[in-house]
Structure 1
């Protein structure tokens, strides 16, 4: 009897029997159906709060716009998300419609698309086209803002100007030396002056501060310095810039009543003016993890609002007739809201301050309505409002740090063990105080852990002892320094504020002592090279999952955190750093020391080279590189990386060089770096980084062992603020 054989399908199926090949699509569909069903069941069991995740998706849409480079990419992603949301909303299976999963997919897609469209529209509406090239211009201008910076020896004026050469009104920021300043140059004044203007500067190096992007969203077309004197065409009217003049007057008054560093800190608390804070004090506060106390933020706004709320509540409660007829929490919240808004306006109404005020007002609303004030929904709502108004703030350190800290605080204090630890019980006041102090330290530690990746990403250094310093500094500022400053200002109306100012000065001197002591300890500061966007995104994703999810599933957040930690630990410093103009170059030796082409301590370029090299040691002149051969015009350097040797040729001057000699030197080199335009006859073996190349690429970070070159241009694309390193 002949055996019947199943026919084989000859092509495209891997030699499976015909019936198996036909069944494979059904099996795949069944597997996808089971996965969808399991996801649906997981969403049903988790009971997670969907509101905060919608805000996270909205923020992801904003981030996608910054990450993608071209118009067609933004449009394609937005269209794809709309299609996904439509399909998810109307698709139904034969057996059950998976309502939770479909709703989640549709909501996520819509939130991401909305975020992308909001930032796209914001950029189109407020983005300021930078000037084409550096120029000397005479401007007829109206002063919009005035920022005094006596610690820097200057005043900054932001003006609206019109120039015949440009042919369009522009917004410009000008630095004015103190010896050429006058109180008449205040907000609203009409002035005329000559200035050296530059397009807003792009990042000096990959991972460095991107001022051009910030200027684009602030409407600044140029920055510069005053050349000559300012002519006052028309003084400011009494109605123009009234709040700004009040802020300036308040800052001067505080500094006049309280001398020294304490006075500059008090002026920052009272008016938001940080311009007079000495560089060494600012650095100590930063390295001690106390910089957040200097910026008018949630701590200060919350302290003002809380003080107003409780003062009004306790004062009105003394009148039984009123307390029985009026809802005191509602009235107290209204008064406190007015105090918070007034304080926000008085301190400059900067975006971080407004953001803090919005959050505090939402908390007040929750208190007035008898709702839980410290919840993730409240945080998500505040973040959504801020991102809707200022979507560009997402990529700035201020937004990231403030909301990371708030999310960490809310997640910690809503955790079951913490609630049990802080629950009221029969005990002595000493034990109760001890538990509060322990919780304050734990909170500070959790905040430091949450903020460290963000701080390292933006600033390449972080204070490691901030949790210890904040245990003392935060109560000191909140319950001593700020109330004393407020009392002193009130007593000044009667001419009796001197004792309160003395006490405030003592408390602020103590704050500065804590900062300097903490920053001076061994290992107080962690310095790393640029850690890259993927590492910080893993930290953020893991942290959000840990904070926002519920149940055992939240432990999955440790996975991305571990990946981010691995990327952070394995981050290597670039071997060569080249600034955007080619004039500043740094080489990192095998022992981590930085050798620089131009040794200019304290310069902006050298500070960036030191930070991105991840070192705290003082830079060394390039001539001291082992094996370096330098002339007045060039340095030739052998660089050993593992088993490979590289020869680097770096120009040191702009003097005319014989082309044949230059071509011969280039032929022997692997890498040539120059701030000048080099002739075509200069052909190194791997990279020719001259002025022509740098105008397209921007600053460089070169990794010799991986054979990779990271450029500023790689992260810019066709966004409006990027026009190459030259700005032209």
Structure 2
């Protein structure tokens, strides 16, 4: 015992020496601790688990109190435990007080609603409106309605009242494991139901007064620039991406240039820098102002006002708010004569965003925005990189080459940091973004945005046409770069759905590498490397089933994917392909040589895990004769249907029907290991989850029936 106590004291002293050397970096972990609590609330299923986490976090703080007084480890454990508990309570409280419960089930109704906002989506030939239903206490307080462009009534705008018929649906949860969770996002946005308005749409009361500035700016730019550059020009000015064609948006994502479409640090910094430059030049024309006035303070105040106005104009999305907050802190530091561009600035911005918008933590926008900025600042603070990038007296060609290397290095680091986030949320990541950004970022910052700003300014005197033409040519060049890079076979990396545990471990390792400064920082490469290996070894699912049971995709022995319903829309196909990490075309299951399909059923033979599997899927609502269907069920390992199946349908391993999917959501099945992943956790009590039917299914997906290991008959 004495020896153990001595070793503990020695180890504690070593940790204290290390933390003393890293004392400038310790405060950077405050937003991380707060974020852990927020993430725990999203990851854990119900209130008892949330309470247990809070108790464990506070217990960590209590353990810290037992350490020697005044030690840094003690303060870190106490602060970390309290902040983690605060994060969980913060998001829990916001969900209870401000979140809006969704519609419980689909319903077809006639709605009279007051229009809260209108957003044009030209790329999809529709208008998206937010409404508050009138005289309908059973409906949510806010619903989102899509209206076809041809059906939009005259006078539609904020403050109008319209009447129409619609089939309202609850906000959609992920279709398959790892998919986009619109239900969670809609809950915090206050959207309780969605639907598409059916004509005729009656205008009860037209909108009065002028349209909002953002809408007028949208319409003005749309009249000045032709497609395909029109959508990006509108996005850079208003933050609204609704006018960008899907093919262009996909090319921007695959080429690593999608960050240019999200109004964030690049755009806010360019605007503020331009305003400060102009104000300094204009004020310097006056001798009195140049000698007596605090020019930098005045210019910084003007830049701050411009940044805040731009943030409000573009919708105050999380990246824009983060960038605006960071810019204001930088301007404040510059006005006081201090070096403000540090990791503490990034941590402060993250704390402010998490305190006001804790739900943003789990979204890709917050994660990619802060990860990129953290990596950029951490790289800039590195002694060797700073020495290499510092200005010096040298030949022009050497300076140009060095700047290109600096730009390439920063782009490469940012791409590496953003890759796990992109793979987790989108199942794909750009591989050539660092090279594309060498041209795209200067083109956007120093050519496109100044030209567009000048064009808007000169439009006040009807002289903006030449500048709009130049803007269109520059944006056309940007799109050529995006499509050219996207066409390369090396442009993107595809993976199946990445488990949340793997993603969390990789992000923890990256933060450990970025936030510390001593050699111990490189210990973070361990979980990062383990995550990379795990992702490379991920086994794609053999069967994907959407939450409604209508769409099923299977993987064939040669690695292709096939879909049950040949008429499935592009959205469904994209969701299934991305979740499976598949980049090819989904062919109909009926065309597979190992499938036999009738108008009612499809039987598919698969080989996995060293044994044959027999899959039986319903494809219509036709009543099947009991004797033959019972025989087919008994011969199948897995039966999938979008309706309730009778009790006498007893497959060898798993029965998936409407009742089971109501409890689990979509499924991803791996036959090699006989495992099932589901969208919904057992007992999930998050407030946006629809109530689960009381009747239990015959089979629990977490405990599937043991399958018969005897060889099954081949189809």
> TM-score under structure 2 normalisation?
0.94
Measured after TM superposition, the shift of residue 724 of structure 1 is 6.1
Measured after TM superposition, the shift of residue 615 of structure 1 is 1.1
Match of 2:15 among 26, 29, 39: 39
Residue equivalent to 1:497: 464
- 1:171 equivalent to 2:142? Answer yes
- Cα 1:600–1:467 change in 2 (3 A) is farther
Tell me, yes or no, if the aligned pair for 1:580 and 1:699 is still in contact at 8 Å: yes
Once residues 355 and 598 of structure 2 are traced to their aligned partners in structure 1, the CA distance between those partners, rounded to angstroms, is 57
Q: Secondary structure at the match of 1:372?
A: coil
Residue equivalent to 1:148: 120
Once residues 353 and 146 of structure 1 are traced to their aligned partners in structure 2, the CA distance between those partners, rounded to angstroms, is 21
Measured after TM superposition, the shift of residue 424 of structure 1 is 2.3
- 1:222 equivalent to 2:189? Answer no
Aligned 1:175-324 pairs, distance under 5 A: 175-182=146-153, 184-238=155-209, 245-324=212-291
Measured after TM superposition, the shift of residue 313 of structure 1 is 2.1
Once residues 689 and 195 of structure 2 are traced to their aligned partners in structure 1, the CA distance between those partners, rounded to angstroms, is 18
Residue equivalent to 2:77: 105
Q: Residues 427-451 of structure 1, C-alpha deviation per residue, up to 9 Å, x if partnerless?
A: 1333223222221111111111111
Tell me, yes or no, if the aligned pair for 2:510 and 2:528 is still in contact at 8 Å: yes
Measured after TM superposition, the shift of residue 165 of structure 1 is 5.7
Aligned residues: 695
Tell me, yes or no, if the aligned pair for 2:130 and 2:145 is still in contact at 8 Å: yes
Residue equivalent to 2:40: 64
- 1:617 equivalent to 2:584? Answer yes
- Cα 1:405–1:663 change in 2 (3 A) is same
> TM-score under structure 1 normalisation?
0.92
Residue equivalent to 1:403: 370
Once residues 350 and 426 of structure 1 are traced to their aligned partners in structure 2, the CA distance between those partners, rounded to angstroms, is 42
Once residues 133 and 490 of structure 1 are traced to their aligned partners in structure 2, the CA distance between those partners, rounded to angstroms, is 50
Match of 1:455 among 395, 401, 422: 422
Match of 1:134 among 90, 106, 113: 106
- 1:700 equivalent to 2:667? Answer yes
Tell me, yes or no, if the aligned pair for 1:61 and 1:112 is still in contact at 8 Å: yes
Q: Secondary structure at the match of 1:493?
A: helix
Tell me, yes or no, if the aligned pair for 1:460 and 1:527 is still in contact at 8 Å: yes
Tell me, yes or no, if the aligned pair for 1:201 and 1:727 is still in contact at 8 Å: no
Match of 2:566 among 583, 596, 599: 599
Residue equivalent to 2:28: 52
Moved more, 463-472 or 263-272: 263-272
Q: Secondary structure at the match of 1:307?
A: helix
Q: Secondary structure at the match of 2:130?
A: strand
Aligned 1:354-393 pairs, distance under 5 A: 354-393=321-360
Once residues 204 and 521 of structure 1 are traced to their aligned partners in structure 2, the CA distance between those partners, rounded to angstroms, is 30
Aligned 1:606-685 pairs, distance under 5 A: 606-685=573-652
Measured after TM superposition, the shift of residue 86 of structure 1 is 4.1
Once residues 492 and 657 of structure 2 are traced to their aligned partners in structure 1, the CA distance between those partners, rounded to angstroms, is 36
Once residues 258 and 220 of structure 1 are traced to their aligned partners in structure 2, the CA distance between those partners, rounded to angstroms, is 33
Q: Residues 285-340 of structure 1, C-alpha deviation per residue, up to 9 Å, x if partnerless?
A: 11111111112222111111111112212322333322332222211111001111
Tell me, yes or no, if the aligned pair for 2:140 and 2:192 is still in contact at 8 Å: no
Q: Secondary structure at the match of 1:543?
A: helix
Once residues 5 and 674 of structure 2 are traced to their aligned partners in structure 1, the CA distance between those partners, rounded to angstroms, is 44
Once residues 701 and 308 of structure 1 are traced to their aligned partners in structure 2, the CA distance between those partners, rounded to angstroms, is 52
Residue equivalent to 1:119: 91
- Cα 1:223–1:519 change in 2 (3 A) is same
Measured after TM superposition, the shift of residue 33 of structure 1 is 4.2
Tell me, yes or no, if the aligned pair for 2:311 and 2:321 is still in contact at 8 Å: yes
Residue equivalent to 1:485: 452
Residue equivalent to 2:500: 533
- Cα 1:164–1:45 change in 2 (3 A) is closer
- Cα 1:545–1:83 change in 2 (3 A) is closer
Tell me, yes or no, if the aligned pair for 1:126 and 1:216 is still in contact at 8 Å: no
Give the unaligned 5+ runs of structure 1: 1-23
Once residues 331 and 312 of structure 2 are traced to their aligned partners in structure 1, the CA distance between those partners, rounded to angstroms, is 18
Q: Residues 585-616 of structure 1, C-alpha deviation per residue, up to 9 Å, x if partnerless?
A: 00012222001101236522221111111111
Aligned 1:74-89 pairs, distance under 5 A: 74-89=50-65
Once residues 273 and 252 of structure 2 are traced to their aligned partners in structure 1, the CA distance between those partners, rounded to angstroms, is 25
Measured after TM superposition, the shift of residue 725 of structure 1 is 8.4
Moved more, 602-611 or 109-118: 602-611
Once residues 493 and 633 of structure 1 are traced to their aligned partners in structure 2, the CA distance between those partners, rounded to angstroms, is 65
Once residues 126 and 682 of structure 2 are traced to their aligned partners in structure 1, the CA distance between those partners, rounded to angstroms, is 33
Tell me, yes or no, if the aligned pair for 2:557 and 2:606 is still in contact at 8 Å: no
Once residues 300 and 50 of structure 1 are traced to their aligned partners in structure 2, the CA distance between those partners, rounded to angstroms, is 31
Tell me, yes or no, if the aligned pair for 2:485 and 2:491 is still in contact at 8 Å: yes
- Cα 1:319–1:430 change in 2 (3 A) is farther
Measured after TM superposition, the shift of residue 348 of structure 1 is 2.3
Tell me, yes or no, if the aligned pair for 1:699 and 1:711 is still in contact at 8 Å: yes
Give the unaligned 5+ runs of structure 2: 696-715
Once residues 118 and 66 of structure 1 are traced to their aligned partners in structure 2, the CA distance between those partners, rounded to angstroms, is 12
Q: Residues 96-154 of structure 1, C-alpha deviation per residue, up to 9 Å, x if partnerless?
A: x3621211110111111111111111111221111111111222322112110111010
RMSD over equivalenced CA pairs, Å: 2.0
Once residues 183 and 439 of structure 1 are traced to their aligned partners in structure 2, the CA distance between those partners, rounded to angstroms, is 54
Q: Secondary structure at the match of 1:639?
A: strand
Once residues 209 and 536 of structure 1 are traced to their aligned partners in structure 2, the CA distance between those partners, rounded to angstroms, is 16
Between structure 1 and structure 2, the one with the greater Rg is 1
Residue equivalent to 1:161: 133
Tell me, yes or no, if the aligned pair for 1:698 and 1:724 is still in contact at 8 Å: no
Once residues 470 and 683 of structure 2 are traced to their aligned partners in structure 1, the CA distance between those partners, rounded to angstroms, is 50
Residue equivalent to 2:401: 434
Residue equivalent to 1:332: 299
Once residues 685 and 605 of structure 1 are traced to their aligned partners in structure 2, the CA distance between those partners, rounded to angstroms, is 29
Measured after TM superposition, the shift of residue 721 of structure 1 is 0.8
Measured after TM superposition, the shift of residue 727 of structure 1 is 13
Residue equivalent to 1:14: none
